[in-house]
Amino acid sequence: MTCHPAQSPQPITRSPHQEAMLTIALAGNPNVGKSTLFNALTGSRQHTGNWPGKTVERAEGTFFFNGQEVHVVDLPGTYSLAAQSPEEVIARDFIVQGSADVVIDIVDATNLERNLNLTLQVLELTDRVVIALNLMDEAEREGLQIDVEALEEGLGVPVIPIVAREGKGLTELIQAALAVAQGRRETHPVRVDYGLAIERSLTLLEQELQALGINGHARWVALKLLEDDPEITTAFRAGDLSACCLRRERDLLFGNPTPVPNVELAPHLNALADRARTMGEAMQPDAKVEIVRRRYELADRLVRRAVRRTRPAHHVLTERLDRILTHKVWSWPIMLAMLALVFWITIEGANIPSDMLAVGFDWLAHTTRQVLTALNAPWWVTGALVDGLIVGTGAVISVMLPPMVIFFTAFALLEDLGFLPRVAFNLDRVMRVVGSQGKQCLVCTMSYGCNITGIMSARIIDNEKDRLVSILTAPLIICNGRFGAGVVLVIILFGDQALPVMLSLVGLSLLAVFLATFVLNQTLFRGEPGGFVLELPPYRRPQWGRVIWRTLRDKVGHTMMRAVQIAAPTVLIIWLLGNIPHGAPFEQTPIGWLVRLVEPLGRPWNLSGEAILALIFTLPAKEIVVPSLAMTYGLQSSLADSQTVLDYLAAHWNFLTAYTFMVFYMLYLPCLVTTWATWKETRSLKWTVLGIVVPFLTAASITTVIYRLGLALGLAT
């Protein structure tokens, strides 16, 4: 199995190996279980959760079915093929360009009518479609009886009921999909009747296209021209036929391996597009409105024929819960209590496993040192292997892993329950005060995992201004690297006050996001925030066992990968900087020299050169803060015992120094990979530089206020 998110936008190309396979595209509305199905088929680990808009890029994987290798593409969710946001464009382009041998259209069985709107659009583009009727377990619980045969007859393509989360119906689904892909099963997709006026215009436009020697999906393109779909119309006017799913017959005859915009055709196409727009606008009602209405009418007819309610509709639980959880007043104490509970469980629960892991790594380091000494290994081999590699990675794994697993299990349970979109909904009002919108909160919550995930998830925000503000402020959220190391530092430095201190740090990071958002919206990004349209999904019962197992598997893997790929080499380099020349006093090592060099930078907050240098060392990966501090404070000889480092800090730092350091550490700069993600998402040097400057200035301002306040309150003792 292979799985990797593909870059976008990019032309859809297939390797010769992929050419030999069959390709299945998974399309559908947001939050209907596409990624759950993708994971079940390929064994991948795509992000799933109960809110719309999680998948923002194409993800690809493969699996074998009866000896046939199958290539599957998980697409972002989209409500229609009139794509508006970047991730909807990715989904639309994949379907429009006919890159799949068969499209599995996943529909939510509890919400068929709305889902069929997309289905009918997909059927206008391709007849190689199979419908996966997902969430059948929920439909049954709601008392919905679906006559699958009637639906299949009405749509003209196979309809297979499934429960993706439990893997039910998948064999039948893939059998049907492969039969359609290989032409063993014929389909006769239903056609929407758009009424006399529109149908007549469509026929006319199709004929005109034919007269120009153009074929392909002429009816679909004619519809898009009548609707005046911005992207398709622009591509059409420019003569970019392949982007519109069209071909020139001449190109077909002579072969046209690299379709390029057809300049000589462009004037004819422009005239045709003008005519289509005039026709569309002259209709009563407007063609755009009528097209949508006719589709919904057909969807409604199909659903009435196939679905029967055995008991009255009741979304009692969701409604009842929402009355409290989205209440103007009550939602606030509940959200805060939930947050406090999650942090309390994390801090309390992480203590023991963290200690146990630290003891384990200390034992490993001690034993390895003894073995190497017995073997008369040179000092640098012992030092690099034990003090650098084992102790460095050990410190990262023992401080990061337990809090991360506990925090993310709690977080994933809330996510599966459907709580996250409610948080975004509640916070929309607050975000409007600072000139933004509720979807920024989803970016923030994703950033708790990793700032990069947060930055990428900003694609769900249609409004460009709000998206950029979300990207620039995402690094202010405490990612899991800082969180794990932060918990350990806070426990050691603040003892009994660890929980309130940790909560205050989380609060400060949220405050930092609000402040930076406000300032950006008052300066660089003046203008109205975009509308907040986010569907609140029904609450779903989380699958406890699977969530715990999934988090454990993903987080252990993630921590190990980071420890080996980033933390270990960085710690090794830092160790070398503190140990050459061999036997020299600490002041004469490169680290001693660097400490003196950066010392002035920390003066505004009375932070030592050692503390500042340790922060600089954490730029590749924030989680290496403890080994970094050990090295900059010249404790390399006792590195084999990470507790010594922490005890040393607890004894030498006063409350204010410790708190100031923690605030700055939590906020100060994005790590290098996050900066790279900002570049990838914005493709602009200006925004990438601002992605560094904004968090830094915000962190510096907040740390200064905290430090001055602490001095005034006499906490510097």
Ligand X SMILES: Nc1nc2c(ncn2[C@@H]2O[C@H](COP(=O)(O)OP(=O)(O)OP(=O)(O)O)[C@@H](O)[C@H]2O)c(=O)[nH]1
Residue the block writes with tokens 């406000």: 518
Bridge partners, residue 73, by sequence: 25, 60
Which of 14-39 are b and which e, b meaning 16 or more Cβ less than 10 Å from the residue's Cβ? Answer: eeeeeeebbbbbbbbbbbbbbbbbbb
Binding site for ligand X (CB under 6 A): 30-36, 48-50, 52-55, 77, 134-135, 137-138, 163-165, 416, 540
Instruction: Supply 63's token pair.
Output: 């699996």
- For residue 409, the partner it binds in ligand X, Mg ion, none, with Cβ less than 5 to 8 A by kind, is none
To ligand X, the closest distance from the beta carbon of 42 in angstroms equals 13
Instruction: Supply 338's token pair.
Output: 């939930």
To Mg ion, the closest distance from the beta carbon of 536 in angstroms equals 18
- For residue 383, the partner it binds in ligand X, Mg ion, none, with Cβ less than 5 to 8 A by kind, is none
To Mg ion, the closest distance from the beta carbon of 59 in angstroms equals 8
To Mg ion, the closest distance from the beta carbon of 32 in angstroms equals 9
Contact by Cβ (8 Å): 514, 421: no
- For residue 172, the partner it binds in Mg ion, ligand X, none, with Cβ less than 5 to 8 A by kind, is none
To Mg ion, the closest distance from the beta carbon of 49 in angstroms equals 9
Residue the block writes with tokens 């439990």: 166
Contact by Cβ (8 Å): 224, 209: no
Nearer to ligand X, 50 or 632 (CB): 50
To Mg ion, the closest distance from the beta carbon of 27 in angstroms equals 11
Instruction: Supply 486's token pair.
Output: 């932060």
Nearer to ligand X, 35 or 660 (CB): 35
- For residue 134, the partner it binds in ligand X, Mg ion, none, with Cβ less than 5 to 8 A by kind, is ligand X
**Phi first, then psi: what are they for 161, rounded to 5°?**
-75, 135
Nearer to Mg ion, 73 or 202 (CB): 73
Element (H, E) at 85: none
To ligand X, the closest distance from the beta carbon of 471 in angstroms equals 19
Q: Which whole-number Å values give the CA distances from 378 to 385, 573, 575, in the listed order? A: 11, 18, 15
Instruction: Supply 278's token pair.
Output: 């005039």
- For residue 49, the partner it binds in Mg ion, ligand X, none, with Cβ less than 5 to 8 A by kind, is ligand X
Nearer to ligand X, 30 or 383 (CB): 30
- For residue 416, the partner it binds in ligand X, Mg ion, none, with Cβ less than 5 to 8 A by kind, is ligand X
Nearer to ligand X, 72 or 273 (CB): 72
SS3 of the chain: helix, strand, coil, percent, to 5: 65, 5, 25
Nearer to ligand X, 52 or 592 (CB): 52
Nearer to Mg ion, 52 or 154 (CB): 52
Nearer to ligand X, 313 or 697 (CB): 313
What three-state secondary structure class fits 183? coil
Torsion of CA 170, 171, 173, 177, to 10 degrees: 130
Contact by Cβ (8 Å): 463, 525: no
To ligand X, the closest distance from the beta carbon of 45 in angstroms equals 12
Beta strands in 77-128 (DSSP E): 102-108
Nearer to ligand X, 49 or 475 (CB): 49
Q: Which of 439, 479, 478, 486 is nearest to 460 (CA)?
A: 439
Contact by Cβ (8 Å): 72, 141: no
Q: How many CB atoms lie within 10 A of CB 146?
A: 20
Q: Which whole-number Å values give the CA distances from 304 to 112, 297, 530, in the listed order? A: 10, 11, 36
Calpha distance 57→9 (Å, rounded): 9
Residue type, 302: L
Contact by Cβ (8 Å): 386, 423: no
**Phi first, then psi: what are they for 623, rounded to 5°?**
-70, -10
To ligand X, the closest distance from the beta carbon of 412 in angstroms equals 10
Nearer to ligand X, 164 or 506 (CB): 164
- For residue 33, the partner it binds in ligand X, Mg ion, none, with Cβ less than 5 to 8 A by kind, is ligand X
- For residue 127, the partner it binds in ligand X, Mg ion, none, with Cβ less than 5 to 8 A by kind, is none
Q: How many CB atoms lie within 10 A of CB 574?
A: 25
To Mg ion, the closest distance from the beta carbon of 76 in angstroms equals 7
- For residue 610, the partner it binds in Mg ion, ligand X, none, with Cβ less than 5 to 8 A by kind, is none
To Mg ion, the closest distance from the beta carbon of 465 in angstroms equals 26
Contact by Cβ (8 Å): 143, 311: yes
- For residue 216, the partner it binds in ligand X, Mg ion, none, with Cβ less than 5 to 8 A by kind, is none
- For residue 30, the partner it binds in Mg ion, ligand X, none, with Cβ less than 5 to 8 A by kind, is ligand X
Contact by Cβ (8 Å): 609, 595: yes
Nearer to ligand X, 79 or 605 (CB): 79
The alpha-helical segments, DSSP class H, found in 391-463 are 391-417, 419-433, 439-449, 451-457
- For residue 277, the partner it binds in ligand X, Mg ion, none, with Cβ less than 5 to 8 A by kind, is none
Nearer to Mg ion, 47 or 366 (CB): 47
Contact by Cβ (8 Å): 486, 627: no
Nearer to Mg ion, 369 or 459 (CB): 459
Nearer to Mg ion, 54 or 562 (CB): 54
Binding site for Mg ion (CB under 5 A): 34-35, 54-55
To ligand X, the closest distance from the beta carbon of 251 in angstroms equals 35
To ligand X, the closest distance from the beta carbon of 63 in angstroms equals 17
Residue type, 712: A
Residue the block writes with tokens 């660890």: 498
To Mg ion, the closest distance from the beta carbon of 40 in angstroms equals 12
Residue nearest to ligand X (CB): 77
Q: Which whole-number Å values give the CA distances from 19 to 25, 70, 102, 369, in the listed order? A: 14, 10, 14, 53
To ligand X, the closest distance from the beta carbon of 134 in angstroms equals 5
- For residue 540, the partner it binds in Mg ion, ligand X, none, with Cβ less than 5 to 8 A by kind, is ligand X
Q: How many CB atoms lie within 10 A of CB 479?
A: 23
- For residue 137, the partner it binds in ligand X, Mg ion, none, with Cβ less than 5 to 8 A by kind, is ligand X
Nearer to Mg ion, 44 or 201 (CB): 44
Q: Which whole-number Å values give the CA distances from 16 to 13, 181, 507, in the listed order? A: 10, 18, 52
What three-state secondary structure class fits 216? strand
